[in-house]
Chain A
Amino acid sequence: EPEVTQTPSHQVTQMGQEVILRCVPISNHLYFYWYRQILGQKVEFLVSFYNNEISEKSEIFDDQFSVERPDGSNFTLKIRSTKLEDSAMYFCASSGLTDNEQFFGPGTRLTVL
């Protein structure tokens, strides 16, 4: 069964460093998403991406964040200068249509020291 994959599973970085979180969505899906979950809290929407551009972003998704689909298979989230409060689980998701269920990857746990 097709699935969304994410790498790495755990990333530890120093404050101020850049990180890139990688996702491989399900191959025939067209809509891609990043969500964040701070430990013990709810899942929060960061950004949606369709047709090679951002279709919507939340207030959390400030200038420090960017997304890219560089090669037609990977979908990346970059944080330019990490802060302590960026420590969270980051989930990638994809769907075939906006109305369909989103399939989530296993998440990348980002720890900023």
Chain B
Amino acid sequence: AQKVTQAQTEISVVEKEDVTLDCVYETRDTTYYLFWYKQPPSGELVFLIRRNSFDEQNEISGRYSWNFQKSTSSFNFTITASQVVDSAVYFCALSGHGSSNTGKLIFGQGTTLQVKP
């Protein structure tokens, strides 16, 4: 069975602080994909990143970075120098791969990030 766990329900930081959102996943697939989505207060789901299970290189995009560690089944997300506009719910998600894969996303419970000025 596939499962995504985001143990942090809510995080509150002050602007300019760095913050890391944790994501731990479970899957029996040898190939899979991991995602992060942002859900701002307006409610839409905004795609942030997709990572293939074969690619364990960390990725940086501006103030965002992702640390993928297969050994611990984790795909953590760090925001450097957080800003008020980063306040949102962040979801980690998992999908499988292969001929039987339909592409469905399994989401974690989400982490609500509040960045205070």
Q: Show the binding face of A for B, using Cβ within 8 Å.
A: 31, 33, 35, 41-45, 48, 50, 55-56, 58, 89, 91, 93, 95, 97-107, 109
Contact = CB atoms under 8 A, between A and B. Distances in A.
Main secondary structure of the interface of A (DSSP, over half): strand
A98 B101 contact: yes
Contact of B45 (A45, A50, A95, A104): A104
Q: Using C-beta atoms within 8 Å of the partner chain, give the interface range for chain B.
A: 20 to 34
B45 A98 contact: no
Given A50-B102, A99-B97, A42 B109 contact: yes
Interface string B62-91: 000000000000000000000000000001
Contact of A103 (B33, B47, B101, B109): B47
Given A99-B97, A101-B35, A107-B44, A45 B105 contact: yes
A91 B33 CA distance: 20
Nearest to A48: B102
Nearest to A98: B103
Contact of B107 (A33, A43, A50, A89): A43
Nearest to A109: B43
B114 interface: no
Contacts of A42: 91, 107-110
B103 A43 contact: no
Contacts of B97: 98-99
A101 B2 CA distance: 18
Contacts of A97: 103
A91 B47 CA distance: 14
A106 B104 contact: no
B50 interface: yes
B44 A104 contact: yes
Given A42-B91, A50-B102, A101-B50, A106 B107 contact: no
